[in-house]
């Protein structure tokens, strides 16, 4: 299961939200057939993993209950596993993570880094699976007001280190851990750009780093208000710069464009760019 951790980076994680209200693909894949078809398509386009989410985390989003979230993600994960597609589950809840792992998910992607439901650490420790700890300060309904930092990179680094210590204390092994700066989660556009610019400082913590900028609103701001589906070129650019800065993986909606860009980066000799 931990082969993923040893895979030659960068790992490409394709986004598959089975929600009615995610900011970019909400409502597109709410029935099982279209979700599975899209998951298979993402794999064919080059995704190593398809990240299945059943609860929107867009700013201001209201929460769904655990039963609803489980009912959304489990059938998709099971069907994708049967089709030979590796999946991760995008959840903050221990019960959803446990059900998803049972259905065949190989990685738990927790945008709260264990803060929303600390019991998720036990689930991950018992499963021994890779675990993404994202930097997070609070649920979507109040995350905007939590976007205050005197040194965003230093504080994100310090807070992620606290989450790592908590996971290790719960029995998670260090080789299960992947860190994520949490772009857009209690972050302004300036915060996101600072984290991109100084990503090497997070890479320096010694854990694989996942970079997940895909179609986020700060890219829309950069592009004079461009809507989410038209932010893929900007996403690819920032994802590739993150890879060049040492990111282990990228989480994107546009897998094909990202895989193409990575192929170019490899053909160029995978240089570590300085930016
Ligand atoms: N962002 C979203 C959802 N899940 N997971 C990780 N690890 N990092 C992120 O930045 C992240 C995430 C935002 O919603 P989307 O599914 O619509 O992209």
Instruction: Decide if 212 contacts 23 (C-beta within 8 A).
Output: no
Cα 91 to Cα 119: distance, rounded to the nearest angstrom = 12
Lowest mean pLDDT among 21-30, 173-182, 202-211: 21-30
pLDDT given at position 7: 63
Residue among 78, 121, 187, 216 flagged as catalytic: 216
pTM check: above 0.85: yes
**Is 102 one of the annotated active-site residues of the chain?**
no
In the chain the domains, ranked by start, together with CATH numbers, are 10-18+30-48+61-267 (3.20.20.20)
Q: What is the dihedral of CA 134, 139, 142, 146, to 10 degrees?
A: -30
Instruction: Decide if 151 contacts 199 (C-beta within 8 A).
Output: no
Cα 186 to Cα 179: distance, rounded to the nearest angstrom = 16
Instruction: Decide if 95 contacts 70 (C-beta within 8 A).
Output: yes
Residue 182 CA: which ligand 1 atom is closest? Answer: 10
Both structure tokens of 11? 């790992």
Say if residue 61's pLDDT is above 80.
Answer: no
Tokens 């394709």 correspond to 14
Instruction: Decide if 50 contacts 104 (C-beta within 8 A).
Output: no
Strand ranges of the sheet holding 249-252, from the earlier edge strand across to the other edge: 177-180, 131-134, 107-110, 87-90, 49-53, 11-17, 249-252, 210-211
pLDDT given at position 274: 42
pLDDT given at position 170: 98
Helix, strand, or coil (residue 8): coil
In the reported structure, the alpha carbon of residue 210 is separated from the centroid of ligand 1 by a whole-number distance in angstroms of 11
pLDDT given at position 47: 97
In the reported structure, the alpha carbon of residue 96 is separated from the centroid of ligand 1 by a whole-number distance in angstroms of 17
Report the alpha-carbon angle 99-14-67, nearest 5. 25
Say if residue 63's pLDDT is above 90.
Answer: no
* Residue 15 binned pLDDT confidence (cut-offs 50, 70, 90): very high
Residue closest by Cα to atom 12 of ligand 1:
111
Residue among 78, 93, 187, 251 flagged as catalytic: 251
Cα 265 to Cα 37: distance, rounded to the nearest angstrom = 29
Say if residue 129's pLDDT is above 80.
Answer: yes
pLDDT given at position 24: 75
Tokens 């920032």 correspond to 238
Give 3-state DSSP helix, strand, coil % of the chain, rounded to 5: 45, 15, 40
What is the number of other CB atoms lying within 10 angstroms of the CB of residue 225? 8
Beta strands in the chain, from DSSP E residues, in sequence order: 11-17, 49-53, 87-90, 107-110, 131-134, 177-180, 210-211, 249-252
pLDDT in tens, 228-275: 999 999 999 999 999 999 999 999 999 999 999 999 999 998 766 543
């Amino acid at each position: 299961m931990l082969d993923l951790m040893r895979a030659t980076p960068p790992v490409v994680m394709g986004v598959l939200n089975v929600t009615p209200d995610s900011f970019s693909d909400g409502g597109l894949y709410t029935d099982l057939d279209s979700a599975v078809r899209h998951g298979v398509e993402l794999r064919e386009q080059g995704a190593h993993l398809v990240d299945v989410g059943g609860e929107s985390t867009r700013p201001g989003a209201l929460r769904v209950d655990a039963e609803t979230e489980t009912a959304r993600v489990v059938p998709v994960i099971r069907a994708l596993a049967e089709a030979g597609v590796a999946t991760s589950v995008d959840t903050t809840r221990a019960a959803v993570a446990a059900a998803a792992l049972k259905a065949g998910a190989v990685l738990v992607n927790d945008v709260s880094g264990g803060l929303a439901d600390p019991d998720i650490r036990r689930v991950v420790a018992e499963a021994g699976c890779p675990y993404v700890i994202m930097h997070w300060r609070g649920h979507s309904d109040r995350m905007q007001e939590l976007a205050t930092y005197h040194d965003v990179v230093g504080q994100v680094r310090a807070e992620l280190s606290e989450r790592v210590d908590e996971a290790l204390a719960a029995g998670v092994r260090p080789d299960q851990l992947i860190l994520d700066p949490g772009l857009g989660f209690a972050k302004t556009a300036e915060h996101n750009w600072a984290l991109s610019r100084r990503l090497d400082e997070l890479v320096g913590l010694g854990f694989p780093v996942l970079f997940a900028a895909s179609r986020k609103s700060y890219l829309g701001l950069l592009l004079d208000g461009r809507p989410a589906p038209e932010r893929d070129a900007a996403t690819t650019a920032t994802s590739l710069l993150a890879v060049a800065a040492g990111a282990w993986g990228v989480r994107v909606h546009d897998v094909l464009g990202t895989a193409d860009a990575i192929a170019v980066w490899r053909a160029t000799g995978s240089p570590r760019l300085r930016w």
